[in-house]
Structure 1
Amino acid sequence: MSESPGVREQVLTVGVVVARTGRLTSLGDPLDFVMTLLTPKLAARGRHGLPIRLAGRDSRSTADGAREAVKELVEDEDASIIVTLAGTQVLPAVADACESVGVPCLSSTFPWQVYYHGRDADAVHGFDWTYHFCWGLDDIAETFADLWEQVGGAEGRTVGCLWNAGPQGAWSRHPEHGFAPAARARGHQLLDPGPYQEPAVGLDRHIAHFREAGADIVTSAATGRDLALFRAQAAEAGWQPRLITCSRWLAYPPSTPVGGSRSAQAGVATLVYWTPSHPYRSSLDGTTATQLAETYEQTTGRQWLQPLGLAHALFEVAAHALTTADDPTDRRSVAAALSTSRLETIAGPLDWTTGPVPNIATVSLAGGQWQPGTRHDYELAVVHPGRTPGLRPTGDLVTT
């Protein structure tokens, strides 16, 4: 796809910060795919006869690369708005760079409290230029509590917390904005033996604490590597929890290890925010979630990914802001349009007028589990519909 600047006076440009290289390419892939898919559709949706074009820059999966990408999109491409999917280091770098230079930014993929409070905003004063849509840490806790309570036994369970020393663990523990207060409000006891450094070299201390306390459920935000280490060391110790819930990296299908051994992610319960079964359609052309997933698989030969829905919605909202802004050539006007956007998207209804705090729209969650599949080695079964209207379970929660 061409990314030449073109005649700036005749186009509205959506700048895309996308991880095409580095450790976040698995997140960049669905964004790159949707970018290519929607380029011809967006070209005819501009305001006042101005077509919408897309221009991408590689974040290189680093904060410095992300800041450079924003600079190039603003200076070289004259971007009217910038969109991105990224991780806990890269996404704030994009948003902060956009806030600094005064260009509207729309992002998704990690809990809104981390995006919002982690960038020093408060409940009253938000940001001038940067907007986000996602679920919250409290939503993760509610979803996981739904799953814990399906395991049976006491309503208030002791749950072992496998939390790192990084931002994932710190925000999970946060006494006000984190996962912990919402989980405790459901009557569950959280056993946190303390943080571990990534990558973990040994998690025996955590395993011993969980085992001694009778915590037969473990919740985590571990990487796939550290989750595999935890499960291997637990098995060596002759112990395994009945259920593991994990919120990190579980958006992606587990890979089958060489030799056919069980994937570290198999059987792990996780978040479900988008699947082909979700009852949503694109605001651009009516494409359903099922159709988007099928197009991805037919085009790439790879299994559909949850971030596809979020990636598609980014461009839907960006196009909506550009076509509803009083003056789409004025970035301040585009930012104002973002702040009042209410839109039914392929990722669900998004509403920035009723968000929990300024600049935020929320996404509903359901509970899922990676189980052996029929079309793929592992498939994400919806085992609890959570708070997603119209979503039906596709499987039962399996415990050990």
Structure 2
Amino acid sequence: MAFDITRRNLLMSGGAVLGSFALGRSQALAQSATPLKIGFISPVSGPLAGFGQTDGYVLEQARAALAGGVTMNGQGYAVEILERDTQSDPARAGQLARDLINNDNVDIMIAVSTPETINPVSDACEAAGVPCISTVMPWEAWYFGRGAKPGEPSPFKYSYHFGFGVDEFYRAYISQWDLVETNKKVGVMYPNDADGNAIRAVLAPKLAEAGYEIIDPGAYETGTTDYSQQIRTFREAGIEIFNSFPIPPDFAAFWRQAAQQGLHKQVKIVQLAKTGLFPADIEALGGLGGNVSSAAYWHRDFPYSSPVTGLTGVQLCDGYEAATGRQWTQQLGASLSAIDVAIAALTASGNPKDKEAVAAAMPGLKAESIGGTVDFTSGPVPNVATGPIIGTQWQAAKGGKFQYDYVITENATDTNVPVAGTLRPYNA
């Protein structure tokens, strides 16, 4: 049986009901002196800091919405969210998870953004028997990268992941690249990490089957400083599409060298993932940042709202910009969606203090979030719910105080999302 958790269900249905909108904090606390504890781990500093930049604001909104406590299955609870910064260090991510499990006794864990954060946290939770919700990395790198085998039963009981996979990238890229005429020669630069290895193994062959010629100079190590060999290979092959999944410092170094050696002049589409997601990534490139193509796992124009906070995407982003003076980023909605799903999982369990009950509820969970429906009943493998990747491009802003607009250019993986513009050639 699937648990279908929507804002209306959380507020009005019998049984497991989210009461943060209906109960005062004193009433919830009167029912239970034991709070629900949610661990939240993300990279707020270090080379992956762009992913965690907005998390403080998201957590403020969630804490405000949950300040009155929640009621689940007739029992009231206060809610505590305990956030931790991985400093972009996988070893630290695992240690932080163990500390939250052993010292803070969290009831559920949230891990957000990139394999360097999510996989070690998920592994720590799996070993300790603590439910874990994660998002923002290819699900293949999460599932197979942690030891699951194709065609075999899932080895995971407590850890669950939602979001995009290689198929979503493939569909978005095919849709996006059809918008500009090219010779279909794609230079790929995939790192030797969980993301890069998963993408090389699955996405590149699918693109080749679709008629694209893949030019791959081989895996590179994160932190590489000299990209002359890759640039020479791409120039000699005459690529007109470039695709990479690097961390931001690596792409910035590569693209500046590519410009110095003239590669940027022949490339018509610069398609990035893992970097190029946030305004700071693009602004750091100076004049080389305009018309870089990206992909959005969330956007302010997604037509959904958060069951926990009641906020729409536009409200969330406008609030962030007003509070910080910074341009919104897609991580706002991604991190809030993880909180939406975690609260839904606790609610669906019937007893949110029982970790076994929460884990047992997860396979049948179907929850609404600010990113759309998260459905763990539909696969493609156990413990995973897929989500969209939407083609986007950083185009010169038409007005306002920010340098670039983040324009949706295609919507093949979620046709409810409105397309706002067309893809421009990189050198247009």
Tell me if both proteins adopt one fold, taking TM over 0.5 as the criterion.
Answer: yes
Name the CA distance, whole Å, in 2 between partners of 1:203 and 1:18.
29
CA-to-partner distance for each residue in 1:201-250, whole Å, 9 max, x for gaps?
A: 33233233223322211111133333333333333333421111111222
Partner amino acid, structure 2, of 1:179: L
Alignment of 1:210-359 (within 5 A): 210-239=234-263, 240=265, 241-254=267-280, 261-262=286-287, 264-359=288-383
Partner amino acid, structure 2, of 1:34: V
Q: Are the aligned partners of 1:42 and 1:319 in contact in 2 as well (CA < 8 Å)?
A: no
Name the CA distance, whole Å, in 1 between partners of 2:50 and 2:261.
33
For structure 1, list consecutive stretches of 5 or more residues without a partner in the other structure.
Answer: 1-5
% identical equivalent positions:
30
Aligned to 1:3: none
Q: Which of 174, 180, 198 pairs up with 1:171?
A: 198
Q: Which of 130, 135, 153 pairs up with 1:125?
A: 153
Aligned to 2:100: 73
Alignment of 1:154-193 (within 5 A): 157-174=184-201, 178-193=202-217
Q: SS of the residue aligned with 1:287?
A: coil
Partner amino acid, structure 1, of 2:165: G
Q: Are the aligned partners of 2:111 and 2:117 in contact in 1 as well (CA < 8 Å)?
A: no
Q: SS of the residue aligned with 1:313?
A: helix
Partner amino acid, structure 2, of 1:64: A
Name the CA distance, whole Å, in 1 between partners of 2:232 and 2:173.
23
Aligned to 1:361: 385
Aligned to 1:140: 169
Cα distance, 1:70–1:46 mapped onto 2, change above 3 Å? farther
CA RMSD of aligned residues (A): 2.3
Cα distance, 1:385–1:11 mapped onto 2, change above 3 Å? same
Aligned to 2:4: none
TM-score normalised per structure 2: 0.84
For structure 2, list consecutive stretches of 5 or more residues without a partner in the other structure.
Answer: 1-28
Name the CA distance, whole Å, in 1 between partners of 2:172 and 2:307.
27
Cα distance, 1:367–1:10 mapped onto 2, change above 3 Å? same
Name the CA distance, whole Å, in 1 between partners of 2:413 and 2:362.
25
Cα distance, 1:46–1:82 mapped onto 2, change above 3 Å? farther
Are 1:380 and 2:406 an aligned pair?
yes
Are 1:34 and 2:45 an aligned pair?
no
Q: How many residues align?
A: 388
Name the CA distance, whole Å, in 1 between partners of 2:393 and 2:262.
24
Name the CA distance, whole Å, in 1 between partners of 2:220 and 2:117.
22
Shift of 1:31: 2.5
Name the CA distance, whole Å, in 1 between partners of 2:334 and 2:86.
18
Q: Are the aligned partners of 1:254 and 1:266 in contact in 2 as well (CA < 8 Å)?
A: no
Q: Are the aligned partners of 1:11 and 1:52 in contact in 2 as well (CA < 8 Å)?
A: yes
Q: Are the aligned partners of 1:256 and 1:377 in contact in 2 as well (CA < 8 Å)?
A: no
Name the CA distance, whole Å, in 2 between partners of 1:171 and 1:203.
22
Cα distance, 1:252–1:209 mapped onto 2, change above 3 Å? same
Aligned to 1:149: 178
Aligned to 1:60: 87
Q: Which of 225, 229, 232 pairs up with 1:205?
A: 229
Cα distance, 1:314–1:62 mapped onto 2, change above 3 Å? same
CA-to-partner distance for each residue in 1:352-379, whole Å, 9 max, x for gaps?
A: 0002001111111211011111221112
Aligned to 2:49: 25
Shift of 1:109: 0.9
- Greater mean deviation of Cα atoms: 115-124 or 28-37: 28-37
